[in-house]
Amino acid sequence: MATQPGLEPKRHWLRILFVLPFIAMLWVSSYNRLTPELFGFPFYYWYQLLWVVISAAIAGIVYKAEH
């Protein structure tokens, strides 16, 4: 799709933020442990759940910036 003259290009460079959760989840040795616990949940589980929330926030930021 070609851009129309006079329109600003959208901020597609923000999509690079999607790489952060990808790297965080692939680097298993950084979170493959039991401590510290949070509300009785081992670090392994709540760290992954935290990245779900962070990923949703990143998606929201990118969406707002592009639309």
Would residue 3 count as lying in a domain? no
Give the range of the structural domain holding residue 50, as residue numbers without chain letter: 27-66
Query: Model-level pTM?
Result: 0.74
Would residue 53 count as lying in a domain? yes
| Confidence at residue 65, expressed as pLDDT on a 0 to 100 scale | 87
Would residue 20 count as lying in a domain? no
Would residue 11 count as lying in a domain? no
Looking at the predicted structure, is the pLDDT value of residue 10 above 70? no
Q: How many domains does the chain contain in total?
A: 1
Would residue 57 count as lying in a domain? yes
Average pLDDT over residues 50-59: 95
Would residue 2 count as lying in a domain? no
Confidence of residue 50 (pLDDT cuts 50, 70, 90): very high
Closest CA to 10 of 57, 63, 60: 63
Of residues 14 and 49, the one with the higher pLDDT is 49
